[in-house]
Structure 1
């Protein structure tokens, strides 16, 4: 698949180990800090949890948005750090808890909003506990992804893991069930790396003619769709759009015809059923659709299915991470790019 492995591919292959490392930490020495973070996030007097970050760090929070809302919390807020910094910071109340997420802990807007909200309840989720962000918050949860120089991979899945652990801890749900699910994801990642790479080559060939990609899902799996849309622009140099399936029906549906290409995420849930139903309609209009599926869906004319387990709403984004990243790397290679080599920007954005 790759005669000479790029830095991005090498970091993709480190994800199972990185995921197991963060699970090991939070089932032992990290229990205490996780408990303190959960206690901080149990907002009182009508307070809300406000998740903020940039790019991958922002999209990761989408995973637990509905989990927190369905558990009886005040509806959480997920807002880009730049928008919060310049336009919405006055809306943060003393009762609110701001969860600032950044792999490096150096992203300009995220660090600046932590400075601006000094005195409020601030929690950092970061890879670097000595970072400027961690120094500006009262408490930090490490993601323990290790060194990452390329497009977000290990840090993305480890953020998802920490957010799942935190969300479940807030409401006193069984930590062991989350840990078992995360370990199953690590096993699934390894199995894909060891025996299913041919599917990626086939999927890349299936999408060879694409010059624009839509990424579509619903619910928690929107974290995967948003992450993929961002990283495809970054690594494949291809324009993309990510949106929920319902939004796609409200206008973009008219684009369906031969030459339309999409990647969809269908978890094993009612949300996944609705996504699956839409992909069949899309293929019926001549579109080509790759589906990362937690459901039993058959590949057919216009549909290329990559089945994944575990495939429920909250774990599909983790099990889909390595397949989508390998597909990104392959599509970049096929177009003459090396995914993860930054030509205009850099891994960490330190200015606005």
Structure 2
């Protein structure tokens, strides 16, 4: 409940999420010129480096395979790692930071020999990032909610603007943003809220969405949440499965759907009931908790999966934490340096 004129952490998150589709559409339209400039530079170098921290890194991770599909050799890396082991060679760089002012961003800009070929992606037009390099700017004000919600969808939309300039169609993404669906499942929320640890997993583009979800749930529910790519999950970590561990799978509509469905069946065999955000277009895996979604692909699948997961995980976290969305050990803008 709002205290005086100060909204709660939950209210801030809900406010961000309520306007994110609209702001994402605006961000697609208003960044076309800058997106064209970035795409032209990336095509000239043939190499794109996506750098960010926290949720900004994970949205870069979503975009990484989409750029590769567009013919660009793209790599997403945490900026803190890059600062300690730079990747040599001529390349185009996108620095992603919703605030545009994290400690790693400032250090990178202060130590870069040249800003030629370096571009920003941020929600703050007055930030150091936007001031020092040509930047894509998200619509609306800077995100105020503690955990990233609107900033992720807007960042994905801005990557989409660049991808469109590389020849990738966005008609399905725009259609989704204009008419988003809501997915309600009280059983899923109840199941996750009773977990003491959660593992999120997928394949391809949706793996980056799972990565973002793990951070989101750790921040809000304050329990361990791991993100493991489908193959990595099966190579050893399966040993940790037990009662009390929640598993969230994002099932794509492409050929990887079968591998995710097999993973769900193996979870059931380990006496763990997985939650599946299912875009496969197939019947639900028996005995799982399945949220059926349209068979979206590519960037549209990422956008729809991201929002559906945000909504569900926020409800679960709200049932677990009395002051959800109010950080006790962290700040919105962080200096990890």
* Alignment TM-score, normalising by the size of structure 1: 0.86
CA RMSD of aligned residues (A): 2.1
The residue aligned with 2:48 is: 49
After TM superposition, give the deviation of residue 300 of structure 1 in Å: 5.7
2:39 maps to 1:38: yes
After TM superposition, give the deviation of residue 98 of structure 1 in Å: 1.5
Superposition map of 1:289-308 within 5 A: 289-299=274-284, 302-308=287-293
Q: Kindly tell me: are residues 118 and 133 of structure 1, through their superposed partners in 2, closer, same or farther at Cα, counting changes over 3 Å?
A: farther
- Aligned residues of 2:25 and 2:177 also touching (Cα < 8 A): yes
- Aligned residues of 2:197 and 2:244 also touching (Cα < 8 A): no
Residue 146 of structure 1: SS of its match in structure 2?
coil
2:119 maps to 1:123: yes
Indicate the larger mover: 120-129 or 220-229: 120-129
After TM superposition, give the deviation of residue 261 of structure 1 in Å: 1.7
Structure 2 residue aligned with 1:246, among 231, 236, 239? 231
After TM superposition, give the deviation of residue 223 of structure 1 in Å: 1.5
Residue 28 of structure 2: SS of its match in structure 1?
helix
Superposition map of 1:1-352 within 5 A: 6-25=11-30, 30-44=31-45, 48-74=47-73, 76-85=74-83, 87-89=84-86, 91-93=87-89, 95-119=90-114, 120-137=116-133, 139-150=134-145, 151-169=147-165, 171=166, 173=167, 177-178=169-170, 180-189=171-180, 191-192=181-182, 196-197=183-184, 199=185, 201-299=186-284, 302-309=287-294, 311-350=296-335, 352=337
Structure 1 gaps of 5+ residues are none
Structure 2 gaps of 5+ residues are 1-7
Residue 85 of structure 2: SS of its match in structure 1?
helix
- Aligned residues of 1:260 and 1:288 also touching (Cα < 8 A): no
- Aligned residues of 2:22 and 2:178 also touching (Cα < 8 A): no
Q: 4+ runs of 1 displaced by more than 4 Å?
A: 297-302
* Alignment TM-score, normalising by the size of structure 2: 0.90
